């Protein structure tokens, strides 16, 4: 477990050596990131100067009241939106300097996204849903089928591979969505309220699954509204008014920042 960005505990990585042989290195680094939206004459500062660094192997929960900028932060991290100001480095590369085609490749191959409402294709089987990012990445059919089945097995759904979303429970649908996010072996896994549509017990199971998927080659950043779930994170980032109001051990986070 990594307790905080300043005190990494590399117990899950032999000798603290990261996947490429270097020390545990930052996966994402945001410096002074702002995101403004113009609404008529008004400018909404959805993000207003965010500094955040998350290393490979870390699991971070993001909390904050509605409108504090959580989804905007995830969209920037997911290269879906660009910052109005500031710098975003993903795996050492300045995202602002990437061409459109390189950016599309990064989105497809380096980032996995899990949403509250699953976003599965209703007419496609679980396997087909999981395979899709590999279709876009141009992976050959036989290999992508094998990788999709492997990802489904990782989330404990081997026996549901041929089911359609409507034939699955909410928790199982979210597992399929997690398998789809993982199938490209991304460096960064982003989840925006992944338990928001699930009952408490199923939500806790999905969090257990995220925990079990911890890898020194990946970072997880998850937005949650649920303060109990946020408390069990190893590192908590609380946003207020588009800024980081707290970053550290969940136990030390002021109660008012935790509640939506
Ligand atoms: N496309 C947009 N155009 C204009 N304003 C936007 C847009 N997207 C977000 N905002 C504004 O930016 C602020 C942050 O929004 P964001 O969706 O990031 O909040 P959030 O913390 O995810 O909230 P919630 O908990 O309700 O999901 C809000 O005031 C929102 O109204
Ligand atoms: Mg949101």
Ligand 1 pocket, mutate which of 47, 69, 190, 191 (most atoms under 8 A from CB) = 69
Ligand with the closest atom to the CA of 64: 1
Instruction: Give the pLDDT of residue 67.
Output: 94
Which residue has a Cα nearest atom 27 of ligand 1?
A: 66
What average pLDDT does the segment 39-54 reach?
96
179 φ, ψ (degrees, to nearest 5): -60, -40
pLDDT at 161 over 90: yes
CA distances from 255 to 192, 228, 230, 237 (A): 21, 11, 11, 13
Task: Pick the range with the lowest mean pLDDT from 14-18, 25-29, 212-216.
Answer: 14-18
Ligand 1 pocket residue status of 74, Cβ below 6 Å: no
Ligand 1 pocket residue status of 39, Cβ below 6 Å: yes
Instruction: Give the pLDDT of residue 60.
Output: 96
Residue 260: pLDDT band with limits 50, 70, 90:
low
Ligand 1 pocket residue status of 43, Cβ below 6 Å: no
| pLDDT tens figures, 228-253 | 888 888 899 999 999 999 999 999 99
Instruction: Give the pLDDT of residue 19.
Output: 47
Ligand 1 pocket residue status of 116, Cβ below 6 Å: no
What average pLDDT does the segment 99-118 reach?
94
pLDDT at 18 over 80: no
Which of 150, 133, 224, 139 has its CA nearest to residue 186?
133
Q: Distance between CA atoms of 17 and 26, rounded to whole angstroms?
A: 13
Half-sphere CA count of 175, side-chain side, radius 13 A: 29
Ligand 1 pocket residue status of 184, Cβ below 6 Å: no
Instruction: Give the pLDDT of residue 16.
Output: 39
Give residue 71 CA to ligand 1 midpoint distance, Å. Answer: 7
Ligand 1 pocket residue status of 65, Cβ below 6 Å: no
Strand 85-90 versus strand 93-94 pairing type: antiparallel
- Tokens in use for 194? 């992944």
The residue ranges of every structural domain in the chain are 111-185
What average pLDDT does the segment 119-139 reach?
96
Instruction: Give the pLDDT of residue 258.
Output: 81
- Residue 173 and residue 165 in contact, taking contact as beta carbons nearer than 8 Å: yes
| pLDDT tens figures, 206-228 | 999 999 999 999 999 999 988 88
pLDDT at 33 over 70: yes
| Percent of the chain predicted with pLDDT > 70 | 91
Task: Pick the range with the lowest mean pLDDT from 7-11, 132-136, 199-203, 245-249.
Answer: 7-11
- Residue 49 and residue 86 in contact, taking contact as beta carbons nearer than 8 Å: yes
């Amino acid at each position: 477990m990594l307790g905080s960005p300043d005190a990494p505990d590399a117990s899950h990585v032999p000798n603290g050596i990261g996947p490429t042989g270097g020390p545990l290195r930052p996966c994402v680094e945001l410096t002074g990131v702002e995101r403004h939206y113009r609404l008529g004459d008004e400018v909404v500062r959805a993000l207003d100067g965010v500094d955040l660094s998350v290393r490979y192997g870390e699991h971070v929960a993001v909390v904050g009241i509605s409108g504090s900028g959580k989804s905007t932060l995830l969209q920037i991290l997911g290269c879906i939106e660009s910052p109005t100001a500031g710098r975003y480095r993903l795996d050492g590369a300045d995202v602002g300097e990437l061409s459109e085609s390189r950016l599309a490749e990064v989105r497809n191959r380096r980032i996995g996204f899990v949403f509250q409402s699953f976003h599965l294709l209703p007419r496609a089987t679980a396997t087909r849903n999981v395979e899709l990012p590999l279709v876009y990445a141009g992976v050959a059919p036989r290999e992508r089928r094998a990788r999709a089945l492997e990802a489904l097995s990782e989330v404990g759904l081997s026996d549901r591979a041929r089911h359609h979303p409507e034939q699955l429970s909410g928790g199982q649908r979210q597992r399929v969505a997690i398998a789809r996010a993982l199938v490209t072996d991304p460096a960064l896994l982003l989840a925006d309220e992944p338990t928001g549509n699930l009952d408490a017990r199923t939500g806790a199971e999905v969090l257990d699954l995220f925990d079990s998927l911890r890898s020194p080659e990946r970072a997880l950043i998850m937005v949650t509204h649920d303060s109990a779930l946020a408390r069990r994170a190893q590192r908590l980032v609380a946003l207020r008014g588009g800024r980081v109001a707290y970053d550290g051990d969940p136990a030390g986070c002021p109660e008012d920042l935790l509640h939506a």
